[in-house]
Amino acid sequence: MDPSEVEFLAEKEHVKIVPNFTQDTIYLISGDIGPFVAGLPVCVPLWLAVNLKQRQKCRVVPPDWMTLEVLQEKKQAEMDSRFFTEMPSPFYIEITQLLLQCATDDIPRADEIRTLIKDIWDLRIAKLRSSVDVFIKSEESHAKLNFLTLMEINTVREFLTKGLDHMHQLKSNLNGGGMASNSQFL
């Protein structure tokens, strides 16, 4: 899966915007959006928010978790815990990325938020890597990881599945090798 496909899925998440125009409800298959009243906050999918913002038609209200305090707390919790902690949004990195790209002026202290999110991401990826390593070394056949987000899984997906494939082959050599080769020669 490509990261841009993950981003596509993330664009279905809802964010709050304050439009500066008035328009009736838009009826879409995925649900109704609006009605838009200038100056009144409304919830729209991320893709629409990005589009309206690019056309200067709205102001984005940053999600509750996109503040320095919440993210600093989150980062500390992530550092203290041995396991993955639950993220405020399953698409936290994608939403931050998109909003910080187009709506920097609406988000207070955008630079620090970008750094914090990146720190949290790095912490989680490092954690993910060491759990993958423990998993491979322990020769278990399954493991459970809570609170991993799609983008995080996606970066190790191909590597992990190939690695497990390889290990499975080596293991099945070891377990069934002798018997299977005998039966072939009969």
Partner 1 sequence: MAAYSVDLSTGNNYFDLNDILASQEKIPCIFNIAVEGLGYLDQSTPDPDIGVGTKLELPLWLAKYLHRDARGIVSVETPKTYREGYRQILAADPSVVDLHRLGPHFYLGGGKLALFNLPDIQDVLKTLLQTFQGRFRRIMDGSQNALHTDLTNQINMLDESERRLFAAGQRGLLEFQSWESRESEKLSTSSVVLNQRKRKWVGACRDSGD
The burial of 49, by beta-carbon neighbours within 10 Å (0-12 exposed, 13-18 middle, 19 or more buried), is given as: buried
Tell me: does residue 12 bind partner 1 (CB under 8 A): no
The tokens for 167 are 């290990």
Q: Are 94 and 151 in contact (CB under 8 A)?
A: yes
Residue type (1 letter), 146 = N
Tell me: does residue 142 bind partner 1 (CB under 8 A): no
Tell me: does residue 88 bind partner 1 (CB under 8 A): no
Tell me: does residue 180 bind partner 1 (CB under 8 A): yes
- Residue 36 or 135: the one with the smaller Cβ distance to partner 1 is 135
Please say whether the dihedral angle defined by the alpha carbons of residues 113, 119, 124 and 128, taken in this order, is positive or negative.
Answer: positive
Q: Which of 21, 37, 111, 166 binds partner 1 (CB under 8 A)?
A: 166
Q: Scan residues 144-163 and list those touching partner 1 (CB under 8 A).
A: 151, 154-159, 162-163
Q: Are 22 and 36 in contact (CB under 8 A)?
A: yes
Binding residues for partner 1, per CB under 8 A?
2-4, 7, 97, 101, 125, 129, 132-133, 136-137, 139, 151, 154-159, 162-163, 165-167, 169-174, 176-178, 180-181, 184-185
